[in-house]
Structure 1
């Protein structure tokens, strides 16, 4: 029995020891499991926190950007700096489009001609349109007849005329701020007599004047030109005319047909070849046609070289070929070619008399105006040198009416 009790005690001790070991193992597993769950939870928490922070930061950045953009946009619209800039430059407005105030621009000739060739398709004008005469002066430098022209324009309606000056690029016309010639110089380039650069200058003047949609008539003048009638007479004569005034005729001599190049065929034939005075007057329709032409200009540039002079043949030939019915085929600028010389006669102080001006105004011949005969054939005259200014000023009120 004793042995059996000892055996039972030994068995109970062993079992107790085994159970204690099992309990310890279970506790250790629970601890390890708890630590693993804790660590995993911490890791998940950190990762989630990072994503949430990035999302919140991104949302905050988006809000900040949107808010800054709106504030910036509102500020840029209301800022006085932009208004000041619009005061210096042409902003998007109907006024600056139909009648640019500032003649300075950075356009090349190609860009300028393209811009000036635009024609509105809508017939109604969104502004009060008073037809203007564009007086375009192609000069080498100073204008000795400037005081005479100032008197001619004095007191006239500013809505009825505009002035454009093409001078040497480095020449600056020195006039007072209240002069009608102030700030009327266009971006110019050098001009060489007898070359196609003269045509370039003419087209440059036309294109700059065409930017003003109120300009309807375009008259080319030089620094030696004078008006022989007052402004109201000249304005009515041009605005009411149904034709342009470009000298264009067939000259069978070596000074006409003799300058034609057979290389111009088949686009320009000898039968199309015309000659005329450089000093023209054009309606807006024809002015746009001329500055838009590329094909025939290039032919003249390539083949009309001295002793062929593009300024005497290009426009007369081009208009004869395509728009002859719109041209009066005569000039309105008087020139004295009575002397046999490469250039017309000049008028100095000793030549200026009342009879000279009267003979230019009414030389006893008739010309066609709106399909009727008239004795008013010349509105301008050239070439007058600087010494003629004073005698002319003494005759303006008595003879010319200004």
Structure 2
């Protein structure tokens, strides 16, 4: 009986001690959470009262021992806006890995969430880090740049398409040879908003652009020239005179592989500007009314450049270039050749007053005529001589 009483008292004391222990022990993360909650209520830092001192304080908390404190520090720094970027760069120089990763994440968030022109140099900061740093710092910056570029590219496509630009696969002529290629087209469907064209800088992976009609403006070309992977430009179909700025806007590009100008009247001064562009492979001048003397001046300035100078008439066939006759291998739809009934494997032997021996001589002959000119085409089909009157058209892409 006595032993039982003692055992009960001992058990009770043990139970009481255990309860007191539970009450006195608070997990470290819960204490940190209570501490952060108290700071929220006291309004220690708000966007309205943000200053350099508060930015410096929260940057020091990026490496705090408690996770919740580090998370709150990241959020507070984001609220302060891109003005804190220089302070973050300074903090990253201290070498703490946690500070590095969180600082890069914050800068990346600024670059993604804000307009490129108003990101407080977030993108430039990441680029400088990637190019001028080594190790984890460079890797973190490059990874952030990839994320920002992907986000901006997706946003760019949506905004540009909404503004009436075409982005996708389409027929594109390089030196009057058409191919189906990924391209951007700024034409009559464009809503006229030049500001939205800043997003062309983020239209990556597209090397070809066509500007036509009312879109042939200096402001448009300045933005087109910022496309990161641009190699070929076509400027086509303007009934009105265009400003010199249309061409001078391209002078800041590092290189232009091909430039096609079709049915745009060019002045001698504009020919001078074109002769100083960084052209590398080909220049096509078709229906531009530029003088032969101006074209020869371009040739002298850009030796080795393939220059096709055409009056503007377009027949609409291609022939096997390796053959010693002009045997048709393609008749393009909605062209003079299609209207005339030319067919695959017809052999063209004459155009106008000229005899045709191969595709090269056909091209040279047609190049002498303007769109709207009527000429006679003579061809063989199954050994039989046929003739057709054709009215040459403009070269138009679908």
**TM-score normalised by L of structure 2:** 0.27
TM-score if structure 1 supplies the norm length?
Answer: 0.27
Structure 1 or 2: larger strand share?
Answer: 2
Higher normalized contact order (CA 8 Å, seq sep 6+, divided by chain length): 1
